[in-house]
Chains A and B, each alone.
Chain A
Amino acid sequence: MSEATLPLWRKRLFGTPATAIGTLVIAFCIAWIAVPFLRWALIDANWVGTSRNDCTAGGACWVFIRARFGQFMYGLYPVDQRWRVDLTGILFLLSVLAIVFAPKRLQLRLGLSALVILPPLGIWLLAGGFGLRPVETREWGGLMLTLFISVYSSLIAIPLGILFALGRQSELKVVRLVSILFIEFWRGVPIIAVIFLASLLLPLILPSGVGIDRLARAVIGLGLVIAAYMAEAVRGGLQALPSGQREAATALGLTYWKATGLIILPQALRISLPAMTNEFIALVKNTTLVLVVSILDLLGIAQASLADPAWVGMNMEAYFFSGGIYWLICYGLSRWSRALERRGRQRQR
């Protein structure tokens, strides 16, 4: 520790007597919680072995996670086909990186073409058919399913959300009313009920014989709810734009859709991107609710593996591990959203 940092460190923690007392009290509280936890998670933990009997040290039994790691990631996806899941993930990641780091003028074109190509490609890779071995959605599970539901729900939610946000700002009364009703309805009901509703009602309101995959039903249900939240996020961006923008565009002779597509939306979306990211985080967290319709996402797989008689009593390990993954994803996204926000604010200045 250098001499320059030492006084600051000391001043922060022990500057005045009151500060010092506060520091000691807090430090004691932290130690009171952290010490037993660290003992359980690290010091007394069991790392190697193959079954529950190898966990003798008293702490966490990470052997369980190691034994079940494949399932936590892929669910019951056939082992020899899992490269397809990896490939899909890598493709999505690469295209996101490509879009983010591409030169500005290419970004929009790249983004749109990725939006057209990637989703069907992803479904083909995961579900199979046309030369690939078909893998039914009931075999999907774990982290892969959590990410799939999040991404595909937002593919429904974002376009719909933009549409309804525009509708809410529309001059046409009927359009505005319909948009407001849609947004407020979905924002007003609990997601657990919506997922249930989608799984029960969708097959009922379609002509008999038209079956929808139950994963698709959950994705549609979540997509509709999140669309309403996305619409509110986009509305924030639309309202932040000075009205002169649309007036100027109209004065230049642009039609409504041209003005919207070329002038309004690119600016509004840039402003609302952080808010939309926050809605996406909420979506990732809410995917856990699909377990009410027995779809085994990451948390669902964790719970299902607890029912295995060979691994009874691994609750803490399963929840800690899966919770940690959710935290990493959401925390990463929220840092990104905050960086975006900061960059946006700097640009405004």
Chain B
Amino acid sequence: MKTTILAAAALAAGASFANAQQLAPSPTLDAIKARGNIECGVHLGLPGFSFANDKGEWTGLDVDYCKALAAAVLGDATKVKFTPTSVQQRWPILQSGQVDLLARNSTITFSRNATLGLNFQGINFYEGQTFIVRKKANVKTAADLDGASVCVAAGSTEEKNAADWFRERNLKVTITNFQKNDDAITAYDTGRCDAYTAGVGALAGQRVKLKVPDDHVILTQPISNDPQGPVTRWGDERWQLIVRWVLNGTIAAEALGVTSANVDEMKANSKNTEVRRLLGVEGGFGAMMGLPDDWMYKVIKQVGNYGESFERTVGMGSTLKLERGQNQLWTKGGLLFTPPFQ
């Protein structure tokens, strides 16, 4: 009797030890499970990326990513709550632990990575900074903006980018920095500025907020590369792993042809080992992160792969009508890439 208890205790201790060896502790994941939802920091309101309608329902590319994360971690894409953040608040809100991650079309930069205690977990949108101008101003490229005044959101990468770009070319441009994107776009619309600068995708989203969207044109040539993706705090490596690989998983799913429509069929019948590993049929990949093995199955079933999400939120199926461009898969001439599920 005694020995059996001791043996059981030893076994339990051994098992828990083995378990601990496999899985690093993840306070963020524990907190999410205890809370029952993911706290996701998003943009205040950028159609196509994160926008709440008048009933408080969120849609957009970044929002879809948060939903995918909720499906992977909690098995239910609706178990996510969105915290709208301004340009100023986003880093402190993440740093102080008020959100689990930011999916807030924020550009990856060296100094943010190095000095703010932040890690960028991959790229979910290749953005390029450009300008929206009035059609009648007859501007073809950014260089034509010499002497113009430009509205921009303060504290964004665009603020510095634009200043650097014009200075390098000896062009005199007045840059007016607003605390909120919406104020900057309103100021542009009322004629305070000749141009408003932001990423191509953001501009396509903001354009619908103009009084007469057709009077304006978005310059096609970007002046910079602004890769954007989900951001986490330093520390808690396992949580970072999950954030990174859910994004990779949605890209891999598109590359492997797994969609929300055929995911059941693929899970049952696919002979492709990578598909089988992705959907949790073999390999036990989910368990390695402390998630159920069918984590990506749930993501694709409930949210869809990257391509589906793109078309629905910013692509041809949306009001933004953006081309895939750089955001096309690497196999089809774009930059979107994922390391293999191996």
Question: Is there any pair of Cβ atoms, one from A and one from B, under 8 angstroms apart in the complex?
Answer: yes
Number of residue pairs A-B, CB distance < 8 angstroms: 55
- Let me know if B209 and A203 touch, CB within 8 A: no
Q: Which residues of B contact A76 (CB under 8 A)?
A: 52, 55-56
- Let me know if B56 and A203 touch, CB within 8 A: no
Q: Which residues of B contact A304 (CB under 8 A)?
A: 45
Chain A 114-147 interface residues, beta-carbon cutoff 8 Å to B: 136, 138-139
Q: Which residues of B contact A204 (CB under 8 A)?
A: 96
- Let me know if B54 and A294 touch, CB within 8 A: no
Whether, in the assembled complex, A303 has its beta carbon less than 8 Å from a beta carbon of chain B, the answer is: yes
Whether, in the assembled complex, B98 has its beta carbon less than 8 Å from a beta carbon of chain A, the answer is: yes
Whether, in the assembled complex, A68 has its beta carbon less than 8 Å from a beta carbon of chain B, the answer is: yes
Among B85-93, B282-290, B325-333, the stretch that binds chain A is B85-93
Whether, in the assembled complex, A155 has its beta carbon less than 8 Å from a beta carbon of chain B, the answer is: no
For the complex, count residues of B whose C-beta is within 8 A of A: 27
Whether, in the assembled complex, A313 has its beta carbon less than 8 Å from a beta carbon of chain B, the answer is: yes
- Let me know if B54 and A308 touch, CB within 8 A: yes
Minimum CB distance partner of B91 in chain A: A200
User: Contacts A294-B44, A294-B85, A312-B210 given: A214-B98 contact, CB under 8 Å?
Assistant: yes
Q: Which residues of A contact B208 (CB under 8 A)?
A: 309, 312
Whether, in the assembled complex, B324 has its beta carbon less than 8 Å from a beta carbon of chain A, the answer is: no
- Let me know if A312 and B89 touch, CB within 8 A: no
Chain B 43-74 interface residues, beta-carbon cutoff 8 Å to A: 44-45, 47, 52, 54-56
Q: Which residues of B contact A294 (CB under 8 A)?
A: 44, 84-86, 89
- Let me know if B89 and A293 touch, CB within 8 A: yes
Chain A 131-177 interface residues, beta-carbon cutoff 8 Å to B: 136, 138-139
Whether, in the assembled complex, B267 has its beta carbon less than 8 Å from a beta carbon of chain A, the answer is: no
Q: Identify which of A136, A204, A209, A309 gathers the most chain B CB atoms within 10 Å of its CB.
A: A309
Whether, in the assembled complex, B182 has its beta carbon less than 8 Å from a beta carbon of chain A, the answer is: yes
Give the interface SS of chain B, mostly helix, strand, loop or mixed.
loop
The answer for the CA separation of A138 and B44 in the assembled complex, in Å, is 13
A307 touches which of B85, B96, B209 (Cβ 8 Å)? B209
Whether, in the assembled complex, A199 has its beta carbon less than 8 Å from a beta carbon of chain B, the answer is: yes
Whether, in the assembled complex, B97 has its beta carbon less than 8 Å from a beta carbon of chain A, the answer is: yes
Q: Quote the shortest CB–CB distance from A19 to chain B (angstroms).
A: 42
Whether, in the assembled complex, A242 has its beta carbon less than 8 Å from a beta carbon of chain B, the answer is: no
Q: Quote the shortest CB–CB distance from A197 to chain B (angstroms).
A: 11
The answer for the CA separation of A71 and B56 in the assembled complex, in Å, is 10
The answer for the CA separation of A208 and B97 in the assembled complex, in Å, is 8
Chain A 292-312 interface residues, beta-carbon cutoff 8 Å to B: 292-294, 303-309, 312
The answer for the CA separation of A312 and B85 in the assembled complex, in Å, is 22
Q: Which residues of A contact B86 (CB under 8 A)?
A: 292-294
Whether, in the assembled complex, B276 has its beta carbon less than 8 Å from a beta carbon of chain A, the answer is: no
A138 touches which of B55, B83, B88, B209 (Cβ 8 Å)? B83
User: Contacts A136-B81, A138-B81 given: A312-B97 contact, CB under 8 Å?
Assistant: no
Whether, in the assembled complex, B136 has its beta carbon less than 8 Å from a beta carbon of chain A, the answer is: no
Chain B 167-203 interface residues, beta-carbon cutoff 8 Å to A: 179, 182, 186
Whether, in the assembled complex, B211 has its beta carbon less than 8 Å from a beta carbon of chain A, the answer is: yes
On A, residues with C-beta under 8 Å from B are 68, 71, 76, 136, 138-139, 196, 199-200, 203-204, 208-209, 211, 214, 292-294, 303-309, 312-313, 315
* Known A203-B98, A292-B88, A307-B45; 6 more pairs at CB < 8 Å: A139-B56, A211-B97, A294-B89, A307-B209, A308-B54, A309-B209
A-B contact pairs, 6 of them (CB 8 A): A200-B96, A204-B96, A294-B85, A294-B86, A312-B208, A315-B186
Which 3 A/B pairs are nearest by Cβ-Cβ distance?
Answer: A76-B56, A203-B96, A309-B208
